[in-house]
Structure 1
Amino acid sequence: MPTKSNPIARFNQVLLFIVLVFAILYFAKPFLIPIAIGGMMAMLLVPVCKRLEQRKIPRGLAAVLCVLLTLLLLLAGGYLVFRQLVELGNDLPMIGRKLNGMLNSGHDFISEHFQLPVAKQKKYLQSQIAGLSDLAGQFIGDIFRFILSFLVHVLIITAYSVLLLIYRRRIKNFVLSLVSYYAGKERVAEARDIVDKTAAVASAYLAGVFSVALIFSVINTTGLAIIGVENPLFFGVMVAFINIIPYIGSVAGSSVVVLYTLVTSDSLLTPIIVAIFFIVMQQIDSYILTPKITGSKIQLNALFTIMALLLGSLVWNVAGMILFVPFLGVAKIIFDHVDSLKPYGNLIGDRDARG
């Protein structure tokens, strides 16, 4: 029986292809992550670059101006957040004293109501804290290694972004040439439409995601300042940008702020108000801002979005959690425009196929 009519052989070929793709993604991530971030940044800046080019600014100069201005804005925002982080570090001794007082109160309560000696409580607690400290240290170490790696590669990412903006037409023509060679000239117009839609939708989606993050940075910072939370800028920006990670980002970020206020506040009222504030903001995000700004750009269902998050975390760590969802969205656009791949687009989309 011919190989291509054998379903088992075809399944093995597809499986081998998938394994090779993810092996390359995993082992080549030091090379691929800067390219992916540079590509994401370039797609985000394509509309701005086009407007500058329409004003008779040369493409190379327009690309450099777009990327450098974006980089300066990011560095300015990073500097403000870093200053807030330094101020937060000054509060650590006070946080330690309050934690110690809370632990002592907990020991007395347990000893009084459950007849468990304080010495045994402390011994058990120390063993648990030791394990949690190792996990927390590993997590914080991973975050700082990612930030350090990003800073080391920032010049490379900047260069990639500029060059991708400059050579975007050449890259598009290369893809169309491949389509013409392998699929025939009659498919070139369709391929051009797919490339244009993919670039436009990816650019609009990324712009929408960062617009939502900036809006929530302002709202979170203002709200936390009114509530009376210290270092509101740091926590407001942190929660807003962690929220870029779908589904789990908002819960993780807001939980950090609630725990911080629970430790630093003298009453339970402040953490309760903070929790209510973030619940309300999450509803506004889910039902108003995100659907209006990014909801119509990439329509992925929750199942495959979470799978993309977990797979991205496994392959590329934090960078993968942020990048793999837009990658899946771009793949959906391609699936929706290729007849043989439309079932896959329906599978990962958030709308039921009509028939």
Structure 2
Amino acid sequence: MKEVPVTIKRSIELLGLVLIGCIIVIGKIIIMPLLMAFFISIMLLPVYRFFRKRKLPESLAVFLSILLVVIGTALIVWLFYSQISFLIYDFHKIQKNLTTHLNALSLWISRVFGFSPTEQVKFINEQSNKFLSYAANVLSGAAGSATGILIFFGLLPIYTYLLIMYRGIFMKFILMCFEPKDHGNIEDITLQIEKMGKKYLLGLLIQLCYITILLWAILAIFGIKHALLIGIMFAFLNLIPYLGALVGNILGVLITLASSESISDILFVLGAIAVVQFLDNNILMPRIVGSQVRLNPLISIIGIFIAGTMTGVSGMFLALPIIAVLKIIFDRTEQFKKWGVLLGDERPAKTKYLPGYSAKNKISL
């Protein structure tokens, strides 16, 4: 049989990727909670096995594992709500500080750019009208968004429960889809995915705790108001790789501007965030996660943007673990091994030789 040309193979692969993307976009309200539940179920497997060793029934062990996650989430929501309440309590002081900062900014713009306060007010009114028009369009779909959020969090515990309860059936189905000679490789892939998922997600939980505590402690030492709120917001936003840290910096500055009249406080906040980020990126997180998620930074950023565009915040959060799972599969599949190389961060030596070429035909990398 005549071999299919490489160009046709690549075209079919590209069409397959486009089809998968369309399915995800169309069915994201069902698919995203399923993917989130998949990773949560991996993280809960050790807890489930702990309860099973205590002779608890299987269904009760799964229920208690999920209940622990629900209680932890409720405590986090309560803590965040309490900090927001403190911020609202200082509303009059915040309004005064904002007025002071806005007046100072207006005088600086007048002095540097020559725009009078009247022209600035006119410009702000024009932009406000545009913003309100945009906000009205966004709010027109708020009912659909709220429904999507309710469905997401409603399906999440159900999916998690069923994935843990019937994981044996799913594994048997996967094995039956392949030849017996491939079963050993599939089991190895499954074990590696479980190991990666547990270490990565547990690492994120630990990261969430120590970033909140470190940032809170540093800001509290400098006397920054609402230090705990800034720490919580930055820690959660930092869970969205690369982009979350930028948004966290901006929100930290805005909260400080609203609660303080001193510009030096803003510098303290930016400095504290920079120190915590340095410790997290270079010392703490590599030791916690280790080499389980070693991905190409460029591919990671592109993947986060694509996932965010297709499925929103949940896609941005899940982008890295999904790419990591794909890399594990690609690395152990001969047909897709080249894609595993593309997703990884293993940089080749500076000089390599192509197979079948002489030493004179070397390629510098």
- State TM-score, norm by structure 2: 0.87
Q: Any unmatched runs of 5+ in structure 1?
A: none
Give the CA deviation at 1:143.
10
Equivalent residue number for residue 329 of structure 2 = 334
Give CA deviations for 1:278-312 in whole Å, capped at 9, x if unaligned: 11001001101111112411110110110111011
Equivalent residue number for residue 206 of structure 1 = 201
SS of the equivalent of 1:5 reads coil
Equivalent residue number for residue 174 of structure 1 = 173
Give CA deviations for 1:171-226 in whole Å, capped at 9, x if unaligned: 112111112xxxx2111111111111112212211111121112212222233333
Q: Aligned in 2, Cα 1:152/1:234: closer, same or farther, shift over 3 Å?
A: farther
Give the CA deviation at 1:235.
2.0
Equivalent residue number for residue 53 of structure 2 = 54
Give CA deviations for 1:125-162 in whole Å, capped at 9, x if unaligned: 33234445666888899999867744454332111111
Residue 282 of structure 2 aligns with an amino acid whose one-letter code is Y
Give CA deviations for 1:37-92 in whole Å, capped at 9, x if unaligned: 21121111112212222232232211111101111111111112112123323334
Alpha-carbon distance between aligned partners in 2 of 1:134 and 1:252, rounded to the nearest angstrom: 24
Equivalent residue number for residue 359 of structure 2 = none
Give CA deviations for 1:81-124 in whole Å, capped at 9, x if unaligned: 11212332333443333323333333344445655432122212
CA RMSD of aligned residues (A): 2.6
Q: Aligned in 2, Cα 1:98/1:168: closer, same or farther, shift over 3 Å?
A: same
Alpha-carbon distance between aligned partners in 2 of 1:250 and 1:336, rounded to the nearest angstrom: 30
Equivalent residue number for residue 323 of structure 1 = 318
Equivalent residue number for residue 307 of structure 2 = 312
| Paired residues of 1:239 and 1:254 also in contact (CA < 8 A) | yes
| Structure 1 range deviating more: 127-136 or 40-49 | 127-136
| Paired residues of 1:227 and 1:274 also in contact (CA < 8 A) | no
Q: Any unmatched runs of 5+ in structure 2?
A: 353-365
Alpha-carbon distance between aligned partners in 2 of 1:191 and 1:81, rounded to the nearest angstrom: 42
| Paired residues of 2:29 and 2:151 also in contact (CA < 8 A) | no
Q: Aligned in 2, Cα 1:89/1:116: closer, same or farther, shift over 3 Å?
A: same
Alpha-carbon distance between aligned partners in 2 of 1:311 and 1:165, rounded to the nearest angstrom: 29
1:85 is aligned to 2:84: yes
Aligned equivalent of 1:343, options 306, 324, 338: 338
Alpha-carbon distance between aligned partners in 2 of 1:146 and 1:220, rounded to the nearest angstrom: 32
Q: Superposed, which structure 2 residues align to 1:118-197 within 5 Å? A: 118-131=117-130, 149-179=148-178, 184-197=179-192
1:68 is aligned to 2:63: no
Equivalent residue number for residue 38 of structure 2 = 39
| Paired residues of 2:59 and 2:165 also in contact (CA < 8 A) | yes
Q: Aligned in 2, Cα 1:169/1:13: closer, same or farther, shift over 3 Å?
A: same
Structure 1 or 2: more helix by fraction = 1
* Identical positions, percent: 28
Residue 173 of structure 2 aligns with an amino acid whose one-letter code is F
| Structure 1 range deviating more: 124-133 or 156-165 | 124-133
| Paired residues of 1:346 and 1:353 also in contact (CA < 8 A) | no
Alpha-carbon distance between aligned partners in 2 of 1:241 and 1:143, rounded to the nearest angstrom: 23
| Structure 1 range deviating more: 106-115 or 163-172 | 106-115
Equivalent residue number for residue 300 of structure 1 = 295
Equivalent residue number for residue 94 of structure 2 = 95
